[in-house]
Amino acid sequence: MILDLDIGNTLSKWRLKDADSSEIRSRGAVWTREQWKPGADIPDLDVVEAVRISSVARAAVLEQTVSLLHRSVPQVHVARSTPEALGVVNGYVEPHRLGVDRWMGVLAGYQLAGGCCAVDCGSAITVDFVLPGGRHLGGYILPGLRLMKESLKLGTRNVAIDPDSEAEELLLPGTRTVEAVNHGIYLAAVSAVNRIYSEVCDREGVALPMLLTGGDARVVARGVQSPHAVWPDMVYGGLEACFPLTAAERNGRMSGAPRVPAPAGLEKIRAGLAFSMLL
């Protein structure tokens, strides 16, 4: 079995992948701030022959995890942000400072769709761009839905946005504090993603496919106007592309990769942008 680990600021996600059949056998998540302990929802390491890790947690968390894994797993691969990989040139001035989850998402997106806009809606919402030739432009970082809500301290932190709510409903004026907060932050997040996407496509003169991942991807996606695909395993896709271990991976296949819809035409994106600037 292969253990893939995506350690974010909030949750450490894992999945077990069968090295022969390439099937995903199980998956789970534990709070990043809590240590892995027996009894928690963690995978059985006895069956694991290789681990691949993307981590944006404190260096100490990664070190502890790697040393724990090394005790029972022969192969441990830790992803890093590099100046160039798989045909993509990292746009950061200091490439290693780009969050490795963003880098994994960009590499997976490029492998699947070519030039693209990769959005990760987790503790932070990140929006990254890579052009069809492989030039990563850098991106945008804003607080995620949960962080925005916690920063308000209005006693609403424990009332999450219902991920099944319709976008239309979430865009209405709230008539209680919790609703006003949820609708406010939702509008902030989706407006930012929509505007950023249009601005960059307009500036670069190219309509890019859009991919979304992260704990809040589904609900944010419902407010995204442009054609897009949600890909929960996008960070894992980057790990598969950087450290291919199975036959399917060596052939460039990434588990759970969605069908990516063609983007709207550039003229339509530009018209939408011009319209939003009139308001």
Ligand X SMILES: Nc1ncnc2c1ncn2[C@@H]1O[C@H](COP(=O)(O)OP(=O)(O)O)[C@@H](O)[C@H]1O
Ligand Y SMILES: CC(C)(COP(=O)(O)O)[C@@H](O)C(=O)NCCC(=O)O
Please give the annotated binding residues for substrate, written as ranges: 92, 99-102, 177
Q: Is position 122 an interface residue for K ion (rule: CB under 5 A)? A: yes
Q: Is position 105 an interface residue for ligand X (rule: CB under 6 A)? A: no
Q: Is position 226 an interface residue for ligand X (rule: CB under 6 A)? A: no
Task: State both tokens at 158.
Answer: 């424990």
Partner whose binding site includes residue 98, from K ion, ligand X, ligand Y, none (CB under 5 to 8 Å by kind) = ligand Y
Q: Is position 9 an interface residue for ligand X (rule: CB under 6 A)? A: yes
Give exposure, 150-165, as e/b (b: 16+ Cβ within 10 Å): eeeeeebeeeebeeee
Say whether 4 is catalytic: no
Partner whose binding site includes residue 4, from K ion, ligand X, ligand Y, none (CB under 5 to 8 Å by kind) = none
Nearest residue to ligand Y by CB is 99
CB contact at 8 A, 161 and 182: yes
Of the ranges 112-120, 135-143, 157-165, 174-182, which one interacts with K ion (CB under 5 A)? 112-120
Of the ranges 40-48, 86-94, 120-128, 229-237, which one interacts with K ion (CB under 5 A)? 120-128
User: Contact residues for ligand Y (CB under 6 A)?
Assistant: 8-9, 56, 97-99, 101-102, 120, 122-124, 126, 141, 144
In the range 123-142, which residues lie near ligand X by CB under 6 A? Answer: 123
Q: Please report, in angstroms and rounded to a whole number, the separation of the first and last CA atoms in the chain.
A: 54
Give exposure, 265-274, as e/b (b: 16+ Cβ within 10 Å): eeeebbebbe
Burial class (CB within 10 angstroms; exposed 0-12, middle 13-18, buried 19+) of 244 = middle
**For the residues of 230-276, what is the DSSP string, one character each?**
E-TTHHHHHHHHHS--SHHHHTT--TTPPPPPPPPPHHHHHHHHHHH
> Rounded distance, CA 274 to CA 198, Å?
10
Residue 217's SS3 state is helix
Pick the closer one to ligand X by CB: 57 or 76: 57
Pick the closer one to K ion by CB: 122 or 209: 122
Q: Which string of x and - marks every residue 141-180 that binds ligand X (by CB under 6 A)?
A: ---xxx----------------------------------
Residues forming the active site = 101
